[in-house]
Amino acid sequence: MPRMTAARAAVEILKREGVRHAFGVPGAAINPFYKALKEGGGIHHTLARHVEGASHMAEGYTRAAPGNIGVCIGTSGPAGTDMITGLYSATGDSIPILCITGQAPTSVIHKEDFQAVDIAAIAGPVTKAATTVLEAAQVPGVFQQAFHLMRSGRPGPVLIDLPIDVQQTEIEFDPETYEPLPAFRPAATRAQIEKALSLLLAAERPLIVAGGGVIGADAAGLLREFAELTRTPVIPTLMGWGVLPDDHELHAGMVGVQTAHRYGNATFLASDFVLGIGNRWANRHTGYRLDVYTEGRTFVHVDIEPTQIGKIFAPDYGITSDAGAALELFIEVARELRAAGRLPDRSAWVGAAQERRATLQRRTHFENVPLKPQRVYEEMNRAFGPETRYVTTIGLSQIAGAQLLHVYRPRHWINCGQAGPLGWTVPAALGVATADPEAQVVALSGDYDFQFMIEELAVGAQHRIPYVHVLVNNAYLGLIRQAQLGLDINFQVNLEFENLNAPELGVYGVDHVKVAEGLGCKAIRVTEPDGLLPAFEEAKKLAAEHRVPVVVEAILERVTNISMSRTMDISDVSEFEELATEPGHAPTAIRELTRPV
């Protein structure tokens, strides 16, 4: 039987589980693993500038393609605690990533040794499993189980903590005979699907709500086929955006209190039946007024995780199943019903949804200087085609982007949905671009998200990872400022200052162009509407030529209120128009144009 260190056995297992890339930062307590990584070969490593950044790179890598599992690596102590945010983000969105940390020697873990912390206990609530391996012989089994857990049921992250002495201990292990454990995914029965379809057929105005589970199961094609068979309009959630092209006749828009379309909310409120597949009824989708969301509608909920069914509200019928397995049966039964002439004509309902989409659009064409954000997204739609992969996290930039951009393919809107940590976008975009190096990757950030982990741009410069980063800058915490309107305050959300080294920026403060260039990237600043499209085109050329991140900074007007509900009610969404705005201050008046929808 071959003998090798436990660290080397772990590396060999990673390769046989399909890992080809890892992101991390070495340190004393994880150096034996890095030695094994170097000697074992076969896994490319990207050196991050911050270990939290490494965890988000792993997330982006996983989210970019079916079957990917991103790996992030750090040393003991603060490296693990820094990666907790990435683990939280991954678990909230059902994203499998593997976090590997070093640890102090087993003999001193509980003696307050330098950088010794019980990271397994800290990570437990935000992982499917978190284990400190105390016996070297257990390393192969723990890694095998980790991949099994990440792929089974509702996907999610796992943390493995390796004391330095465990890494260095030799064990008997034969990588040539290693086999991954088969993943377990529950599957619907035909009887369950027939019952669900009977409820759909009984409805007059049905909808499908397609969540991130459909994309996670690589089942967007099946979802589209089922929707077309039954002529049922589709409402994607924010995590499910891309299951249908935006221009598909059955795409009914997104629903919610923030990242929603006017026509999506209107069509949902007119519906009488909802089939949710692979979604978790997140509150930005349903709002807090669940009575408004559910009243007058029959609900069927299909989800891979049984505890998700009934967690937010009780559906009329629930099915525990992988989205792909359920959709295969939905299609099989629907085809039989069509052959028997039992599928109803939905032309009037589909036509009504299309009419709402044609008439309930928000205005985007503004000539204002400084720029209105809506114009930025209008020009992004012109510059970046259907093949574009968008990456973003949270803020008014993300909310407006979700309302105004267009997505045509699954995994082309890569968004941190549940956790929404600032700083996520730069490293996640690097992970996406690493997974798909020939793709047109476009990240979207407000100025504060961009500043949180701006140092990771240097990773793109060092490792030649090209993408375009659209930075909308209003020198404000825009989403929090808008939320504070309800409290009649504007407090500690203003980022303006006079930069002594860049007086031309005025109150916009940080010179993002110089910072990006100082980190080895290219950058362009845009101040007028007609400059947006040429800047985006130039950014694409620069990224392709130099193979580095290219930042396009758009200088926005200081205050723009983006459409959303202040009452967390999908029937009560405000469409704002600002009047008499003074530079650096909130509007002197705000007119709510449409409230309710």
Q: pLDDT tens digits for 116-127?
A: 899 999 999 999
Pair (46, 69) in one structural domain? yes
Give the domain-ending residue among 304, 327, 359: 359
List the single range of 254-258, 273-277, 332-336, 482-486 with lowest mean pLDDT: 482-486
- What pLDDT is recorded for position 45? 98
- What pLDDT is recorded for position 112? 81
587 pLDDT exceeds 80? no
The helix (run of H) or strand (run of E) holding residue 7 is: helix 6-16
Annotated catalytic residue, options 11, 25, 244, 495: 25
Pair (442, 530) in one structural domain? yes
Overall domain count for the chain: 3
- Which of left, alpha, beta for 256 (phi over 0: left; psi -120 to 50: alpha)? left
Average pLDDT score over residue span 80-96: 97
Give the domain-ending residue among 299, 334, 359: 359
Alpha-helical segments (H) within 295-370? 323-339, 347-359
- What pLDDT is recorded for position 277? 98
- What pLDDT is recorded for position 584? 40
pLDDT band (50, 70, 90) for residue 577? low
How far out from the chain centre does Cα 34 lie?
Answer: 29
Q: Tell me whether residue 309 is in a domain.
A: yes
515 part of the active site: no
Average pLDDT score over residue span 488-513: 93
Annotated catalytic residue, options 312, 480, 485, 507: 480
CATH number of the domain residue 431 falls in: 3.40.50.970
51 part of the active site: yes
pLDDT band (50, 70, 90) for residue 420? confident
Q: pLDDT tens digits for 384-418?
A: 999 999 999 999 999 999 999 999 999 999 999 98
pLDDT band (50, 70, 90) for residue 98? very high
- What pLDDT is recorded for position 578? 44
290 part of the active site: no
Pair (108, 243) in one structural domain? no
Pair (317, 443) in one structural domain? no
| High-pLDDT (> 90) share of the chain, % | 92
From the list 239, 355, 259, 252, the residue with the least C-alpha distance to 563 is 259
Average pLDDT score over residue span 136-152: 98
Annotated catalytic residue, options 422, 441, 471, 519: 422
Spatial separation of the C-alpha atoms in residues 402 and 588, rounded to whole Å: 27
485 part of the active site: no
Average pLDDT score over residue span 82-99: 97
Average pLDDT score over residue span 330-340: 97
197 pLDDT exceeds 70? yes
From the list 18, 28, 23, the residue with the least C-alpha distance to 44 is 23
Q: Tell me whether residue 182 is in a domain.
A: no
CATH number of the domain residue 260 falls in: 3.40.50.1220
Annotated catalytic residue, options 97, 193, 477, 555: 477
Pair (244, 280) in one structural domain? yes
Q: Tell me whether residue 185 is in a domain.
A: no
477 part of the active site: yes
Pair (173, 197) in one structural domain? no
Pair (259, 313) in one structural domain? yes
Q: How far is CA 251 from CA 385, 564, 595, in A?
A: 18, 21, 24
Q: Tell me whether residue 555 is in a domain.
A: yes
Which two three-digit tokens encode residue 505? 């920026």
Pair (142, 215) in one structural domain? no
Q: pLDDT tens digits for 223-270?
A: 999 999 999 999 999 999 999 999 999 999 999 999 999 999 999 999
Annotated catalytic residue, options 13, 19, 37, 51: 51
586 pLDDT exceeds 70? no
Spatial separation of the C-alpha atoms in residues 168 and 337, rounded to whole Å: 62
Mean pLDDT of the chain: 94
Give the domain-ending residue among 306, 327, 359: 359
Pair (168, 194) in one structural domain? no
Pair (221, 267) in one structural domain? yes
| High-pLDDT (> 70) share of the chain, % | 96
Geometric angle at alpha carbon 255, from 252 and 258, rounded to 5°: 135
Structural domain for 481, as ranges: 373-592
